[in-house]
Amino acid sequence: MPQIAGLAYGADGFGAFGGSSGSAHMRYKTGSHVDSRGTAFNAGIAKKNANKSGAFTWGPFFETGHGNYDSYLDNGTHGSGSTSYTGGGVFARQEFASGLYVEGSLRTGKTKADYSSSDLGTSYSTDAPYFGAHLGVGRVLPMHGGSLDIYGRYLYSRTGSDSAHLATGETYDFDAVDSHRLMLGARYTREANQLSKWYTGAALLYEFGGEARAHFQGYSLASPSSAGASVMLEGGWKYAPTATSPFELDLGATGYLGKQQGLTFHAGINYVF
């Protein structure tokens, strides 16, 4: 989902954003574990309109990403592959004079994946549609010369079902995968000087589901699950070349501990017009 909090806007209320993120090593504990590396990119346009309650912001966005992974079963079986997705969506956010805000987004697209294992002597590829949505509520409060954003978000995603034809001749049927996540956290932002500001934050993430079920000749296979809790820690810096520059640079890093482990980096550019 795009991060539009703190985005600057021009005289007509328009702003544009674009950003990329990457992970060098992310681990997901699913009964066995998966190590992944990847990059992602998103870009969009936002329109902010003042209203009697505060301000309403909305806009479309585009997203795409690619990654590679290694999977390890408890019995030592190793497999590897790649994943990618391309899609888009819309977001909206209502801000109130009290600092309270409500936000949400919808996104859809297509995801592709392939897998191979020399231990199993097989390989396959899949492609399926995906859908995602999020709903959040929060409040921005002044604190120690800066601002504290306290928020809660519910995130839902669904990857459609598909059938994979293995190199060995068998056919596996993969069920659709639903993910329900709750995120509770806070971010503190403070100006360093007229041209830059820094931020830091923490959040608790809990995955309620996410089982990936597969069937072979009518039999259900063992299902890895991503259910569990993780802690997210983040920090970053935003910089504008001049006080009147239409561009703003956003650099940051996010670390995860728990069910999800690893470190990601992001670089974004906001543009006012």
Instruction: Answer whether residue 181 shows pLDDT above 90.
Output: yes
Q: What is the pLDDT of residue 72?
A: 81
| CATH code of residue 199 | 2.40.128.130
Q: How many domains does the chain have?
A: 1
- For 151-180, write each residue's pLDDT tens digit: 999 999 998 887 777 767 777 777 788 889
- The answer to whether position 211 is within a domain reads yes
* pTM of the entire predicted model: 0.84
Q: What is the dihedral of CA 92, 189, 232, 70, to 10 degrees?
A: 80
Percent helix, strand, coil in the chain, to 5, is 0, 75, 25
Between 208 and 24, the more confident residue is 208
C-alpha to C-alpha distance for 56 and 74, rounded to whole angstroms = 50
Distances (CA, A) of 17 to 139, 153, 270: 23, 22, 4
- The answer to whether position 8 is within a domain reads no
- The answer to whether position 38 is within a domain reads yes
Q: What is the pLDDT of residue 59?
A: 94
Mean pLDDT of the chain: 84
CA nearest to 55, candidates 96, 92, 27: 96
Domain of 268 in residue numbering reads as: 14-272
- The answer to whether position 194 is within a domain reads yes
| CB burial of residue 46 (10 Å; 0-12, 13-18, 19+) | buried
- The answer to whether position 5 is within a domain reads no
